[in-house]
Amino acid sequence: MAELAQSTPPLNNPPVMEQSDDKVISPWKDAWRSFKKNKLAMVGLGIVVFFILIAIFAPLLAPYSFSDQKLADKHLAPSGEHWFGTDEFGRDIFSRVLYGARISLWVGFVSVAGSVIVGSALGIIAGYYGKIVDGIISRIFDILLAFPSILLAIAVVSVLGPSLRNALIAIAIINVPIFGRLVRSRVLSVKEEEYITAAKAIGMKDSRILIHHVLPNSMAPIIVQGTLAIATAIIEAAALGFLGLGAQPPTPEWGKMLADSRDFIIQAPWTVIFPGLAIMLTVLGFNLMGDGLRDALDPRMKS
């Protein structure tokens, strides 16, 4: 009997379950893992990081000042002394392209940040409260979207006056309804979720619900659209600069550089090629990265 008792396991002790080696992965880590698998997205990220580093270290990388003029060296072809050649005032194009990265990226990031803040706030208010508030805000979005973006930007800059700061404000204004409608549509679906109803049932304030529940669940589309909007903002800033409504001389803005060199396309094509390539590569990088973020953050895009 003693041997039987020793061989029989006690009934009170629950069976030991083997622990799984699988760890819970946060949605953001899972998105980063999916993003890394997208080769084109990583190429885009590399291009964006490259231009950001150029913008940060432009004073160290530029061999000349962007405003130094030497008329005796005007329209020199690319060489070991001037890698990208010189413009009509003898200024080093390579140095101006490096400093131009600062201008274009600064306009892109700041204008989109302003659009995201204002547009998201209006979209959240419209989607969450609905009725009259939603109607008023939505009609404002419709009016802004009724104008072609570049024409609206030209109108805003014409009223405020041509300058880089006013061009930034104009670009921010034309992107507000894009983010506003995006966030509004997201809020309309999120506010019907059970956890929002539970939060209201326990007496949680609307402001806390919006900040802690609605906004975090709307971040994914905002990030994707924000990345793509930076590319669009860079193009719009270049377009305004090309028309003389953006950065003013001697600021080395890429669009303004193209405008100043359009009369010398045949005589000195390098004055147009290198600023144009800088715009193309920067926009391409943000577009590739935005597409990768969309695929990584949208559950419907995952197999």
Q: How far apart are CA 113 and CA 168, in angstroms?
A: 11
- Give the pLDDT of residue 21: 44
Q: Please count the CA atoms within 13 angstroms of the CA of 69 that sit on its side-chain side.
A: 6
Q: How far apart are CA 153 and CA 14, in angstroms?
A: 70
Least trusted range by pLDDT, from 92-96, 145-149, 218-222? 218-222
Q: How far apart are CA 239 and CA 104, in angstroms?
A: 11
Question: Sign of the CA dihedral 127, 133, 139, 140?
Answer: negative
Taking only Cα atoms into account, the Rg of the chain, rounded to an integer number of angstroms, comes to 27
Residue with tokens 């860079």: 234
- 7-60 pLDDT, tens digit per residue, is 444 444 444 444 444 455 666 777 788 888 889 989 999 999 999 999 999 999
Q: Is the pLDDT of residue 65 over 50?
A: yes
- Give the pLDDT of residue 232: 92
Task: Tell me which DSSP letter residue 146 carries.
Answer: T
Q: How far apart are CA 137 and CA 26, in angstroms?
A: 35
Task: Tell me which DSSP letter residue 214 carries.
Answer: I
Q: Is the pLDDT of residue 301 over 80?
A: no
Q: Is the pLDDT of residue 214 over 70?
A: yes
Rounded to whole angstroms, what are the CA distances from 229 to 62, 131, 256, 291? 29, 29, 21, 12
Averaged pLDDT of the chain: 84
- Give the pLDDT of residue 265: 87
Q: How far apart are CA 96 and CA 282, in angstroms?
A: 16
- 164-208 pLDDT, tens digit per residue, is 899 999 999 999 999 999 999 888 888 777 777 787 788 788 778
- Give the pLDDT of residue 14: 47
Q: Please count the CA atoms within 13 angstroms of the CA of 77 that sit on its side-chain side.
A: 2
- Give the pLDDT of residue 206: 73
* Host H or E run for residue 69: none
- 228-251 pLDDT, tens digit per residue, is 999 999 999 999 988 888 888 888
Check whether the bond before 250 is cis (ω within 30° of 0): yes
- Give the pLDDT of residue 16: 46
Pick the CATH number of 38-62+84-301 from 3.40.190.10, 2.130.10.10, 2.40.170.20, 1.10.3720.10: 1.10.3720.10
Beta bridge partner(s), residue 245 = none
Share of the chain above pLDDT 90, in %: 40
Instruction: Work out the pLDDT band at 122, boundaries 50, 70, 90.
Output: very high
- Give the pLDDT of residue 229: 92
For residues 89, 94, 100, 102, the Cα torsion angle rounded to the nearest 10 degrees is -140
For the chain, what are the domain ranges?
A: 38-62+84-301
- Give the pLDDT of residue 23: 56
| Residue 125 tokens, joined | 């208010």
- 99-111 pLDDT, tens digit per residue, is 999 999 999 999 9
Least trusted range by pLDDT, from 15-19, 127-131, 204-208, 298-302? 15-19
Least trusted range by pLDDT, from 22-26, 81-85, 269-273, 283-287? 22-26
